[in-house]
Structure 1
Amino acid sequence: MNGTSPLGPDGRLPVVVVTGMSGSGLSTAMKCLEDLGYEAVDNLRLSLLQPLVSQTHDRPLVIGIDSRTRDFDTQDLLAQIAILRERADLHVRLLFLDAHADAIQRRYTETRRPHPLAADRPVLDGVAVERVLMQPLRDAADEVLDTTHFSVHDARRHLAGLFHLNGGPGLKIFVTSFSFRHGVPREADLVFDVRFLDNPHWDKNLRPLSGLDQPVADYITRDPDYAEFFGNLTRLLEPLLPRYVREGKHYLTIAIGCTGGRHRSVFITHGLANWLKERGYKVGEAHRDLDRKEQAATVPEDRAATGTNPRESA
């Protein structure tokens, strides 16, 4: 149990039911929660759910039930979860794992395994059928985790924040940069757009560098709007974070975005992470799109001739 209490913060025994789209990382989630101290039971038949929970009194439980289960039925699962939630000694939560169809297809292609609902048809056909089947569970879930861009480390970090056991750390803050070109991180609680700042991309000497390099940092801090923006950002967050703690929130994701996810968002993310650490918070920092290959077209030599606004492009 790694020194943690079997009971949750409210004194009830935690029970997590994990379900979701095939190929979205269900097995990985089960292993991560098991590492946190949960007893893991995967691919459980629905008829055994109530007996299993009734026999569990001294250890948090994570149960994997999805479309692979022989007697799987969406409405039956929802009804059984509702029955469990009537017990005063249990804290029951439903976790739904999801991912984009193309990511699921890629994962099945890489592992060369058949999709459980595709039979002899293409993987995407199975994904479409399963999404309709699983939608009621997604709608009813306490937590929905989109794993499209997740590594195993990302999954472990998010699950630890959402489902840590009593005796674990308080509020964990994860700050990530991202490119709007590739979409806003779905797990983000707070999103800030820094595309209004002067863009180092337009300086060909700075373009190969990132927001972690000093020349880029110097360039951005010279922007007349930078100091006021960063000050306002920290003044906004400073009173919010203690309130999140008082409300029992254990995990907060802050996402900072610019167009390419390489310069401005990276610099602001790094600065904000350091600011949070200085105030005693446990902080994780990542840069989702920093190493992504640039998809944009080559920048024209003469921006003035093209009418391009350097703050809005690239």
Structure 2
Amino acid sequence: MTQHAQRVVLVTGPSGAGRATAINALEDFGFEAIDNIPLSLIPRLLDGPVALQPMALGVDVRNRDFSVDAFIELALMLGRRPELELELLYLDCATDVLVRRFSETRRRHPLATDSAPEQAIAQEKTLLEPLRAVSDTLIDTSSFSPHDLRAALENWFGRGTERGLAVSLNSFSYKRGLPMGADMVIDCRFLANPHWVPDLRALTGRDAAVVAHVAADPRHAEFLERITGMLTFLLPAHRAEGKSHFTIGFGCTGGQHRSVAVTESVAAGLAEAGWRVSIRHRELERRGMVPGPGDAEPR
């Protein structure tokens, strides 16, 4: 990458996952934004002198010349151009949420003919899976409002955001499955469980009493030291490879106590070391115990 490379973000994902919202938000953040652009026009659009303004280009299955193979070939070709800094942003969403969104808006899915929306949505997600697998930035919008999505995008792409590696730490419950898009998952279930202490059961890993209980486990201090040491070794390497963000999941049984406490502690250590860190507590958000990502402040 050259010193004055132009940043180009290709935005895609299944219909209804928020691509149009993302394109509008990126335009507000200072990107030159064009939605639903044919793949064949993108190389011609990027020919010529390098522009200082970053560019966001929305591509989806409605494009007349769209194909996954052509998209990947285009991305590889553009990625080899030293005057461009290319990134693939993939917006994903759970199938049942997409079905509900199309039902609420009464819009026809672009792949739907006489088939039910569920079949068209499943067909599109299968079609786009290779793009999801090679994406640089993956955002799951299943639990996001448009405001939430805009806030998440502002964390990664907003004005004044210096280019580099952004780190996202997510606590979660193993009972509800792994967080989508996680680059690394760390199991905290071996630590002392506050759930079995009646006075702590209703609290969360953000409460001092729960933090103290978890920290009293004799393995806790070494665990934090080893995790932080590993991340401070890995993150610069991922940044050097051009990765734009790195997501780490910390899981426990219920996603309320141990994983939350560890997430907060690791985030504080990484932020103190100078990393741009954001936190999301999936299960606490689901239960209304903390604000959603649209209201969270990055560290």
TM norm. shorter chain > 0.5: yes
Q: Give how far 1:200 is off.
A: 1.3
- Distance between the aligned counterparts of 1:20 and 1:166, measured in 2? 26
Q: Percent identity?
A: 43
Residue of structure 1 in register with 2:84 after alignment: 90
- State which of 273, 285, 289 in structure 1 corresponds to 2:283: 289
State the AA in 2 paired with 1:122.
A
Partner of 1:26: 19
Q: CA deviation at 1:101?
A: 1.3
**Aligned partners of 2:244, 2:73: CA distance in 1, in Å?**
28
CA distance in 2, matches of 1:175, 1:9: 30
Distance 1:234 1:138 in 2: 29
Of the three residues 190, 201, 205, the one matched with 2:199 is 205
CA RMSD of aligned residues (A): 3.2
Aligned residue number for residue 103 of structure 1: 97
Aligned AA (1:29): A
Farther-moved stretch of structure 1 (47-56 vs 118-127): 47-56
CA distance in 1, matches of 2:231, 2:73: 40
Distance 2:242 2:21 in 1: 26
Say which is worse superposed, 161-170 or 110-119, in terms of deviation: 161-170
Helix, strand or coil at the partner of 1:266: helix
Work out which of the two has the higher radius of gyration on C-alpha atoms and give 1 or 2. 1
- Deviating more after overlay: 45-54 vs 22-31: 45-54
- Counterpart pick for 1:267 among 258, 261, 264: 261
Q: Give the counterpart letter for 1:89 in structure 2.
A: E
Q: In 1, Cα distance between the equivalents of 2:39 and 2:17?
A: 21
Instruction: State the SS of the aligned residue for 2:284.
Output: coil
* Structure 2 counterpart SS, 1:289: helix
**Is 2:37 aligned against 1:44?**
yes
Show the counterpart of 1:11.
4
Structure 1, unpaired ranges of 5+: 1-7, 295-314
* TM-fit CA distance, 1:20: 2.0
Q: Which residue of 1 aligns with 2:112?
A: 118
Other-structure match for 2:28: 35
Which digits, 9 at most, give the CA deviation of each residue in 1:160-194, with x for residues without a partner? 56667997154432222111112222232332111
The separation in 1 between residues aligned to 2:273 and 2:50, in whole angstroms, is 39
Q: Is 1:222 the equivalent of 2:208?
A: no
1:228-239 equivalent positions in 2, closer than 5 A: 228-239=222-233
Greater Cα offset, 41-50 or 61-70: 41-50
Q: Tell me the CA shift for residue 282 of structure 1.
A: 3.0
Q: Name the CA distance, whole Å, in 2 between partners of 1:42 and 1:29.
A: 10
- Quick check: 32-41 or 147-156, which moved more? 147-156
Query: For 2:151 and 2:194, how far apart are their aligned partners in 1?
Result: 31
* Structure 2 CA distance for partners of 1:80 and 1:257, relative to 1, 3 Å: closer
What's the secondary structure of 1:52's corresponding residue?
helix
Query: What amino acid maps onto 1:146 in structure 2?
Result: D
Q: For residues 255 and 15 of structure 1, do their structure 2 counterparts lie closer, same or farther at Cα, with a shift above 3 Å needed?
A: same
2 CA distance for matches of 1:46 and 1:170? 27
Q: What do the CA deviations read for 1:94-129 (whole angstroms, capped 9, x no partner)?
A: 333322211211222333322222235322111122
Q: Which letter maps to 1:225?
A: R
Change (3 A) 1:39 1:275: same
Equivalenced residue count is 287
| Match of residue 295 from structure 2 | none
8 Å CA contact retained: 1:20, 1:96: yes
In the superposition, the TM-score normalised over structure 2's length comes to 0.80
